[in-house]
């Protein structure tokens, strides 16, 4: 008989302790999940997340989809990930201690990052000490295995491929406008893309205008 929530074929029997649904055995489930991470991409991930946060911020509100704690958690994950192996498995308690945030706040932030596509995870259990030598607990829940990723919409907000150098703000703004007018984007219109259009129209364009006021031969003036 297997523990409820464990994958079929588990070698451990039900003993009554709490194990989260779909948990997999630590040390055996991460091989195809973790992947090496280029440390130079950390700044790109954070820039993408910050722009995503701005793009999804409702008018008159202070926070977007990720929130400031979501950005803090992502920044901490980028510090903790092992570049060579991609190993990333901090406990909730570890994140609480390092960020000085409550457990509910950390859990909400992790969920937001996962829904947005910046983070994914596998729930894990491990064999309890002394398993198999009595009728006590056979397995215990352990920390999740996490994996970082850059969602496609975040790359669009960057206005460039992740591995390429930064694109000037005016060019990124024009590229976003053209993309938004295409049939592909019309067919996939969502509140996030609408927010992106507002962000592009009122933030990116203003940022470029202010930056270019002191420069001669302004691009906007030359096209007027």
Which is more confidently placed, 191 or 139? 139
> What ranges make up the beta strands (E) of 21-75?
24-25
Rounded to the nearest integer, the mean pLDDT of the chain is: 77
Euclidean distance between CA atoms 194 and 154, whole angstroms: 14
Which is more confidently placed, 117 or 12? 117
Tokens of 79: 């510090």
- List of residues 6+ apart from 179 with CB closer than 8 A: 156, 185
Average pLDDT over residues 117-133: 84
CA dihedral 124, 129, 132, 134 (to 10 degrees): -130
pLDDT at residue 90 in the model: 98
* Domain locations in the chain as residue ranges: 24-152, 167-214
Statement: residue 114 has pLDDT above 80: yes
CATH 1.10.10 fits 24-152, yes or no: yes
What is the reported pTM? Answer: 0.64
Statement: residue 167 has pLDDT above 50: no
Q: Which residue is associated with the tokens 């060579």?
A: 84
| SS3 call for 176 | helix
Which of 175, 180, 218 is CA-nearest to residue 196?
180
pLDDT at residue 158 in the model: 87
Task: List for the chain the helix, strand, coil content (%; round to 5).
Answer: 45, 10, 45
Tokens of 146: 């996490």
User: 144 — phi, psi (to 5°)?
Assistant: -70, 155
Average pLDDT over residues 142-164: 83
Tokens of 49: 């997340």
Percent of the chain at pLDDT exceeding 70: 59
The β-bridge relationship of strands 139-148 and 119-127 is antiparallel
Average pLDDT over residues 76-92: 97
User: In this predicted model, what pLDDT tens digit does every residue of 50-65 receive, in sequence order?
Assistant: 999 999 999 889 999 9
Under DSSP, the state recorded for 26 is T
| SS3 call for 106 | helix
Tokens of 1: 């008989």
User: 123 — phi, psi (to 5°)?
Assistant: -75, 145
| SS3 call for 21 | coil
Query: What is the band of 22 on the pLDDT scale with cuts at 50, 70, 90?
Result: confident
User: In this predicted model, what pLDDT tens digit does every residue of 171-223 receive, in sequence order?
Assistant: 555 555 566 555 554 555 556 556 655 555 555 555 555 555 544 444 444 44
């Amino acid at each position: 008989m297997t523990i409820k929530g464990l994958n079929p074929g588990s070698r451990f029997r039900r003993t009554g302790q709490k194990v989260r649904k779909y948990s997999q055995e630590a040390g055996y489930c991460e091989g195809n999940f973790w992947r090496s991470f280029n440390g130079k991409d950390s700044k790109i991930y954070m820039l993408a997340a910050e722009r995503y946060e701005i793009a999804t911020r409702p008018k008159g509100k202070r926070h977007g989809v990720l929130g400031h704690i979501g950005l803090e958690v992502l920044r901490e994950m980028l510090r903790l990930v092992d570049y060579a192996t991609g190993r990333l498995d901090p406990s909730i308690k570890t994140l609480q201690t390092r960020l000085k945030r409550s457990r509910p706040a950390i859990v909400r932030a992790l969920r937001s990052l996962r829904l947005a596509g910046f983070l994914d995870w596998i729930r894990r259990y491990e064999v309890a000490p002394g398993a198999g030598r009595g009728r006590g607990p056979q397995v215990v829940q352990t920390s999740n295995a996490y994996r970082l990723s850059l969602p496609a919409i975040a790359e669009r907000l960057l206005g460039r491929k992740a591995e390429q150098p930064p694109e000037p703000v005016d060019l990124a703004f024009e590229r976003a406008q053209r993309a938004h007018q295409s049939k592909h984007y019309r067919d996939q219109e969502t509140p996030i893309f609408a927010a992106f259009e507002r962000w592009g129209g009122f933030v990116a364009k203003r940022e470029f205008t202010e930056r270019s006021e002191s420069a001669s031969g302004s691009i906007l003036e030359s096209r007027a």
